[in-house]
Structure 1
Amino acid sequence: MGASELITRHSDNFEEDQLELERDIAAILLTTETAPNLEILERIEIVTAECAFGMNIFKDLFAGVRDVIGGRSAAVQKTLRDSRRTALHELKKEAHAVGANAVIAVDLDYTELSAAGNMVLLVASGTAVRIASNPASAPEHRP
């Protein structure tokens, strides 16, 4: 087998592995402690994910103009949205790594890292839990 065949096979396996990982970490994320028809089998541990992101100078300039004249800054909103998605994805990966299939009581905290306001830290945290994959098959809860 030649080197190019090994690279191609590795590339195919890598893509398949990535897709499998994405399916595995498709954990349920809840901001509440529980939900109807959700049977928590085990609370595993607290998980966190951090995402530090910066606004480039052009976004900062336009955001500053928006501060003066009013209105929304689409560039800043997009950066915040992207960072939230990244942090939540990382939170799912952390939960998966400890054997969880859901994260409950998810909280997002934003903190400004620099006085100029061009660097922000987003911390996502929650409790990694294992839930019944089929709520109907979950053990019956008795008070």
Structure 2
Amino acid sequence: MILTTTETIPNREIEEILGIARGSTVRARNVGRDIFASLKNIVGGEISEYTKLQAQSREEAMHRMMLDAEKLNADAIVNIRITTSMVMQGASEIMAYGTAVKLK
């Protein structure tokens, strides 16, 4: 499956727009990570545990978006976007979405 953040795919023509493909995951922080993050907050620097958690969450949301597009028999997803929103204290949703299309 072709994935792109642009509206078009070079050298390919979009034949049909199939709809919005979306995938999301909700992740909560971990108490152990929070303690480590609090210490990092004092001395400064990247909180790598949260960086890894966010990266894993983005990958999961992208994977679920692709599965959704496959259900629509899409060849590609264009104009992909990723958003993050807080669901509750300590938990956030990561959503990936884009336009599922059929190519000529």
TM-score (norm 1): 0.68
1:29 to partner: Cα distance: 1.1
Is 1:130 aligned to residue 97 of structure 2?
no
1:128 partner amino acid: A
Which structure's CA Rg is the greater one? 1
**Contact 2:61-2:96 at 8 Å conserved across structures:** yes
Alignment of 1:97-116 (within 5 A): 97-115=71-89
Counterpart in 1 of 2:61? 87
The answer on whether the counterparts of 2:15 and 2:101 sit within 8 Å (CA) in structure 1 is: yes
* 1:28 is aligned to 2:23: no
The structure richer in strand per residue is: 2
Q: Work out whether 1:40 is the aligned partner of 2:40.
A: no
Instruction: Give the match's secondary structure for 1:33.
Output: coil
The whole-number CA distance in structure 2 between the counterparts of 1:69 and 1:119 is 24
2:15 and 2:47 map into 1 onto residues whose CA distance is 43
CA distance in 2, matches of 1:39, 1:62: 49
Cα deviation, residue 64, structure 1: 2.3
3-state SS of paired residue (2:12):
coil
RMSD: 1.2
1:60-102, CA deviations, whole angstroms, 9 ceiling, x for partnerless residues? 1212222232101111111111111111000000000011021
TM norm structure 2: 0.91
Number of residue pairs matched by the alignment: 104
* Relative contact order higher in (CA < 8 Å, ≥ 6 apart): 2
The percentage of counterpart residues that share the same residue type is 30
Aligned-partner Cα distance in 1 for 2:56–2:17: 29
SS at match of 2:92: strand
| Corresponding position of 1:15 | none
Q: Could you list the runs of 5+ residues in structure 2 that have no partner in the other structure?
A: none
Distance 1:67 1:107 in 2: 30
Secondary structure at the residue paired with 1:51?
strand
What is the CA–CA distance in structure 1 between the aligned matches of 2:9 and 2:72, rounded to whole Å?
Answer: 22
